[in-house]
Amino acid sequence: MKPENQTHVAEFFLLGLSEDPGLQPVLFGLLLTMYLVTVLGNLLIVLAVGSDPRLHTPMYFFLCHLSLADIGCSSTIIPKTLVNIQTKSKAITYVGCLTQAFFFMVFLCMDNLLLTVMAYDRYVAICHPLRYTVIMNPRLCVLSVLFCLLLSTADSLVHSLMVLRLSFCTHLEISHFFCEITQILQAACSDTLSNDIGINLATILLGVGPLAGIIFSYGQIVSSILRIPSAGGKYKAFSICGSHLCVVSLFYGTCIGVYLSSAFTDSPEKTAVASVMYTVVTPMLNPFVYSLRNKDLKGTLRKLTLGTSSFSGLFQLPGVWASRKSQR
């Protein structure tokens, strides 16, 4: 019997990371621990940047918003996964599934674009140090974050609206632990050619494009570092962009790994497990990468955890930064 089309879908069923009942308590504890570490670690970064005037600079301003995007990305998918494991239910409503896919795309795209903006910031800091405060002014930084947010939201909104026109079959299982747009399209009965074209175009423009920008920026950075005569100067210049380079490698490495996993394996379960790397592990490791390689941030985090630092407010950063600049 052919599956019956139905335009109005009540709910989807997320198959999760594993269907083995014995693994569910382990998965629950592991995901809960990683989620709590992710939220706590990134929240500490936000609080540290807001509380220490020494960190009111463009690099930490962008890092602050990257941490917020990481919190949003994990919070979009992990809590629902934990609820489904705990209640032994795989169901997610149609509206809930599209909402989850929308916000996941927003925060993932934000991560990607912010890493590109941060690469440009490091390029200016190393290649044009004397003009750094002029080029990376508070207005440009705020507009850059707003542009990243608007572009991410617009891209996610287009994909979400294109899904609304699709009709779905009675077989509504999604071979994943969250609602990813490509997995939703696989459950559709109607033609998804325009959706696939849209996703491929977005991947090229918002995936390959920013990556090419990052590679170009670091090509210029490496060229400038090699022209520095002293070994100490080269080390100092490299230390400025070392943390960002580690985070970029982690983010794109895991994304490419997931893509290759889905391309070369027929096991949806293996692809779902691989997706944990960029949806959970990468946001969890980012705060550690930045705090371990940065003395100022490490010191502020130590003061913050000991309760000796006061929070001056994240949204005061551009104003404080501008006032410091005018006092020079």
In a domain, 3, yes or no: no
pLDDT recorded at residue 120 = 95
| Domain carrying residue 200 | 11-317
Three-class SS of residue 110? helix
Residue 41 has pLDDT above 80, yes or no: yes
CATH number, domain of 113, equals: 1.20.1070.10
In a domain, 96, yes or no: yes
In a domain, 1, yes or no: no
Angle between helices 268-276 and 231-264 (to 10 degrees): 160
In a domain, 164, yes or no: yes
In a domain, 323, yes or no: no
pTM of the model: 0.86
Q: How far is CA 225 from CA 117, 127, 128, 242, in A?
A: 20, 8, 12, 12
Length of the chain: 328
- Give every CB contact of residue 198 below 8 A, 6+ residues apart in sequence: 158, 159, 162
Q: If we measure between CA atoms, which residue out of 187, 188, 179, 108 comes closest to residue 149? A: 108
In a domain, 326, yes or no: no
Position of tokens 């696939």? Answer: 196
Per-residue pLDDT of 24-38, as tens digits, reads 899 999 999 999 999
pLDDT (mean) for 46-65: 88
Residue 3 has pLDDT above 70, yes or no: no
Cα distance between residue 69 and residue 65, in whole Å: 6
In a domain, 6, yes or no: no
Q: Which residue has the higher pLDDT, 304 or 108?
A: 108
DSSP per residue over 34-72, as a string?
HHHHHHHHHHHHHHHHHH-GGG-SHHHHHHHHHHHHHHH
In a domain, 63, yes or no: yes
pLDDT recorded at residue 99 = 94
pLDDT recorded at residue 259 = 75
- Give every CB contact of residue 164 below 8 A, 6+ residues apart in sequence: 98
Residue pair 301/290 in contact (Cβ under 8 Å)? The answer is: no
Cα distance between residue 30 and residue 37, in whole Å: 11
Q: How confident is the model at residue 64 (pLDDT cuts 50, 70, 90)?
A: very high
Q: How confident is the model at residue 292 (pLDDT cuts 50, 70, 90)?
A: low
Buried/exposed 196-228: b ≥16 CB within 10 Å, e otherwise? eebbeebeeebbeebbebbeebbebbeebbeee
Number of domains in the chain: 1
